[in-house]
C-alpha cells in the first residue's frame, strides 16, 4: 500500500508544480511578495481616465486661423475647451531591470469647445509620448514615478495643431496574477501657454489601466520531498510533517483522547468507554446513567432515577397529595390538597345567577336594595379567602350587541368595585361583560328577557 502511495504522490507532485509556475499560486513566498516585478518583463496595456484641458491658457489651436480671424476684424478664433475630457489609450513598456523601465503610449481625448455660437464644437485632443519609469519592485503592490516627453495636439473645431509637451507624475501598480496588472497614474502634462512668452500651462491627468505582464521567469521545479519520511511525498501527504499511513499519509488519530483510535471509535469526537468508545448514556437526561437508572426513559430523582409517582393521576404528586389514591375535584375550592370535595353550601349559593342585584334602567348604578345580597357575598368571600371568582354581566336582546356588551361590562365592574370597597382583594375578582351572547332563556317573552338580565358569579379553578 505504501509503495502505491509513493507512485501516486510523485505523479501528483509534478502536476502541482506545473500549476505553481503561476506566481499567484506560489505559496513558497508571502502573498504581498508574489507576482512582484522582474527583470526583462514586458507590459502591454490599455487605459482610460480624465484629462483636464480647461481654462484660458491652452495653446491647442491652429495659429494661422487665429491670425486670419484677427486680421479680418472677426472675433478671436481661440476658444477654451471643456474643463474635463475623457481619455482612452494604449501603452507598451519594457523593464530591463526590475526597478527601471521605459514606456511609450498614446491616447485620445474627445471634447468640445465652449464660449462659442458655432454649431460645431467638437474637438479631439491627442498625445504621443515616452517616459522613464522608476519603481520599488519588492511587492506586488508597486509604487512608481515617471518623467518623459512627447507631443500633444488637437483636431476639430479649433483646427489642427501639435505642440511639444513634457509630463511627470507617479502612481501605483497592483499585480493581480502572473499575467495581469492594474495601474493608477496621476500626472501633470506641461505644454506651451497661449502666448509663447508667457511660459507653460499644466494639464492634470488621472488614468486607470489594465496591462498584460509578459516574459516572466519560470521557476525551476523543486525536488520532490518526503519531509516526514513516511513514504508519502509532501504534495500527496495530508500531514507532511507527521509520519502516517494510507490513505492520506496522516497518523491514526484519537480526537477525543479516550484511548480508542478514531478508526475503531464509534463516537470519535466524544470520550467514551469500552466496548465501542462511546460514553455511557443517559437517555432521559436526569443525571442517572442508563446502567443504574431503573426508569431510563423517564426523567426521575433519587434514589433510583424514576419519576415521583402521581398514583391517582390528578396532577398532584403523591408526597404532596393528602389523598394519593383519590383524584382531586377541580372546582376552585381547595384544589391544592389532592382530595375530592364539594363546594360548601354557603359558597355554592354564590355561584351561578345571583338574584337580588338591581341596577338603574340603562345604567351601571347599583340600586340600594341590592346591598343585602352583596354584603352576604362579601361575608362568604371573606370566609373562604382562597376562592377566586369571575363576575359576568348579561343582558337581553333589546338594543344593539355593542351597547349591551358595554352596559353588561360596566355592571359587572360595578359589582366588583362594591366587593373590593368592602374588603375583598382586587386580585381575587375578574369581571367581564357578556352582553346578550349567553342567554339562559328565550328573548321572545318578557319573562325570558327578565331572566337573561342578570349577574353571575363563577368560581375560578386554579
pLDDT, tens digit, for every residue of 194-211?
A: 765 667 889 999 999 999
30: left (phi over 0), alpha (psi -120 to 50) or beta: beta
- Confidence category of residue 56, pLDDT binned at 50, 70, 90: low
- Confidence category of residue 411, pLDDT binned at 50, 70, 90: very high
Please tell me which residue, 59 or 48, carries the higher pLDDT value.
48
Name the grid cell of 358: 338591581
Give the whole-angstrom CA distance, residue 188 versus residue 179.
29
Give the whole-angstrom CA distance, residue 242 versus residue 229.
9
Name the grid cell of 167: 509630463
338: left (phi over 0), alpha (psi -120 to 50) or beta: left
Residue 4 is predicted with a pLDDT of 42
Q: At CB < 8 A and 24+ separation, what contacts does 160-168 make?
A: 160/62, 161/59, 161/60, 161/61, 161/62, 161/63, 163/59, 163/60, 163/191, 163/192, 164/191, 164/192, 165/127, 165/129, 165/189, 165/190, 165/191, 166/190, 167/129, 167/131, 167/205
Residue 266 is predicted with a pLDDT of 78
Share of the chain above pLDDT 70, in %: 82
Residue 331 is predicted with a pLDDT of 62
- Is the pLDDT confidence value at 440 over 60? yes
Q: Map out the domains of the chain as residue ranges.
A: 31-214, 345-459
Residue 267 is predicted with a pLDDT of 84
Name the grid cell of 166: 513634457
Residue 258 is predicted with a pLDDT of 78
- Confidence category of residue 157, pLDDT binned at 50, 70, 90: confident
Name the grid cell of 149: 516627453
Strand partners, 182: 174, 210
Q: Half-sphere exposure (CA, 13 Å, Cβ side) for 301?
A: 3
Give the whole-angstrom CA distance, residue 340 versus residue 442.
36
- Give residue-wise pLDDT tens across range 106-144: 999 999 888 777 777 788 999 999 999 999 999 999 999
Pick 345-459's CATH classification: 3.30.70.260, 3.40.50.850, 3.30.1330.60, 3.40.50.20: 3.30.1330.60
- Is the pLDDT confidence value at 16 over 60? no
- Is the pLDDT confidence value at 313 over 50? yes
Please tell me which residue, 359 or 303, carries the higher pLDDT value.
359
How confident is the prediction for the chain on average, in pLDDT?
82
User: Are 39 and 98 a contacting pair, CB within 8 Å?
Assistant: yes
Question: Which CATH architecture does the domain made up of 31-214 adopt?
Answer: Beta Barrel (2.40)
- Is the pLDDT confidence value at 19 over 70? no
What is the maximum alpha-carbon separation in the chain? Answer: 130
- Confidence category of residue 76, pLDDT binned at 50, 70, 90: low
Our CA dihedral for 306, 311, 317, 320, rounded to 10 degrees, sits at: -130
Share of the chain above pLDDT 90, in %: 42
- Is the pLDDT confidence value at 226 over 50? yes
- Is the pLDDT confidence value at 404 over 90? yes
Strand partners, 301: 306
User: Are 225 and 233 a contacting pair, CB within 8 Å?
Assistant: yes
- Give residue-wise pLDDT tens across range 367-391: 999 999 999 989 989 988 888 999 9
User: What is residue 278's three-state secondary structure?
Assistant: strand
Average pLDDT over residues 74-97: 87
Residue 70 is predicted with a pLDDT of 61
**Where do we find the cell 522608476?**
134
Give the whole-angstrom CA distance, residue 383 versus residue 417.
19
User: Which of the 8 DSSP states describes residue 298?
Assistant: S
Task: Provide the strand spans (E) within 216-332.
Answer: none
- For 429, phi then psi, to 5°, come to -130, 135
Average pLDDT over residues 319-336: 65
Q: Which of 341, 425, 431 is nearest to 385 (CA)?
A: 425
Pairing status of strand 389-394 against strand 429-435: parallel
Amino acid at each position: 500500500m505504501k509503495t502505491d502511495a509513493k507512485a501516486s504522490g510523485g505523479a501528483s507532485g509534478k502536476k502541482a508544480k506545473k500549476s505553481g509556475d503561476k506566481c499567484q499560486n506560489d505559496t513558497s513566498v508571502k502573498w504581498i511578495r508574489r507576482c512582484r516585478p522582474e527583470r526583462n518583463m514586458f507590459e502591454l496595456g490599455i487605459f482610460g481616465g480624465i484629462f483636464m484641458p480647461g481654462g484660458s491658457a491652452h495653446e491647442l489651436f491652429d495659429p494661422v486661423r487665429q491670425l486670419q480671424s484677427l486680421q479680418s476684424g472677426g472675433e478671436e478664433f481661440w476658444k477654451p475647451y471643456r474643463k474635463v475630457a475623457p481619455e482612452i489609450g494604449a501603452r507598451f513598456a519594457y523593464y530591463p531591470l526590475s526597478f527601471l523601465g521605459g514606456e511609450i503610449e498614446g491616447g485620445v481625448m474627445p471634447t468640445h469647445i465652449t464660449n462659442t455660437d458655432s454649431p460645431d464644437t467638437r474637438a479631439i485632443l491627442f498625445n504621443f509620448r515616452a517616459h522613464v519609469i522608476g519603481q520599488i519592485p519588492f511587492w506586488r503592490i508597486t509604487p512608481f514615478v515617471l518623467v518623459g516627453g512627447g507631443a500633444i495636439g488637437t483636431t476639430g473645431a479649433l483646427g489642427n495643431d501639435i505642440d511639444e509637451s513634457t509630463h511627470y507624475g507617479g502612481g501605483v501598480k497592483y499585480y493581480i496574477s502572473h499575467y495581469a496588472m492594474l495601474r493608477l497614474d496621476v500626472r501633470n502634462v506641461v505644454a506651451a501657454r497661449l502666448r509663447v512668452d508667457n511660459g507653460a500651462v499644466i494639464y492634470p491627468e488621472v488614468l486607470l489601466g489594465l496591462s498584460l505582464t509578459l516574459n516572466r521567469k519560470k521557476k525551476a521545479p523543486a525536488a520532490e520531498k518526503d519531509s516526514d519520511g513516511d513514504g508519502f511525498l509532501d504534495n500527496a501527504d495530508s500531514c507532511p510533517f507527521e509520519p502516517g499511513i494510507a490513505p492520506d499519509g496522516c497518523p491514526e488519530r484519537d480526537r477525543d483522547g479516550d484511548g480508542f483510535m478514531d478508526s475503531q471509535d464509534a463516537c470519535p469526537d466524544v470520550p467514551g468507554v469500552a466496548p465501542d468508545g462511546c460514553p455511557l448514556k443517559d437517555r432521559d437526561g436526569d443525571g442517572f446513567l442508563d446502567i443504574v437508572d431503573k426508569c431510563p426513559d423517564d426523567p426521575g430523582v433519587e434514589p433510583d432515577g424514576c419519576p415521583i409517582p402521581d398514583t391517582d393521576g390528578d396532577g398532584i404528586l403523591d408526597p404532596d397529595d393528602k389523598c394519593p389514591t383519590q383524584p382531586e375535584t377541580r372546582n376552585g375550592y381547595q384544589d391544592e390538597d389532592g382530595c375530592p370535595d364539594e363546594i360548601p353550601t354557603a359558597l355554592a349559593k354564590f355561584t351561578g345567577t345571583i338574584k337580588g342585584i338591581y341596577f338603574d334602567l340603562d345604567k351601571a348604578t347599583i340600586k340600594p336594595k341590592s346591598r343585602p345580597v352583596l354584603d352576604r357575598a362579601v361575608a362568604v368571600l371573606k370566609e373562604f379567602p382562597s376562592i377566586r371568582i369571575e363576575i359576568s354581566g348579561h343582558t337581553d336582546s333589546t338594543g344593539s350587541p355593542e351597547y349591551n356588551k358595554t352596559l353588561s361590562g360596566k355592571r359587572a365592574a360595578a359589582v366588583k368595585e362594591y366587593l373590593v370597597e368592602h374588603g375583598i382583594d382586587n386580585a381575587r375578582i375578574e369581571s367581564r361583560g357578556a352582553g346578550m351572547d349567553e342567554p339562559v332563556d328565550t328573548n321572545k317573552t318578557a319573562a325570558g328577557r327578565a331572566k337573561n338580565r342578570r349577574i353571575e358569579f363563577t368560581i375560578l379553578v386554579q
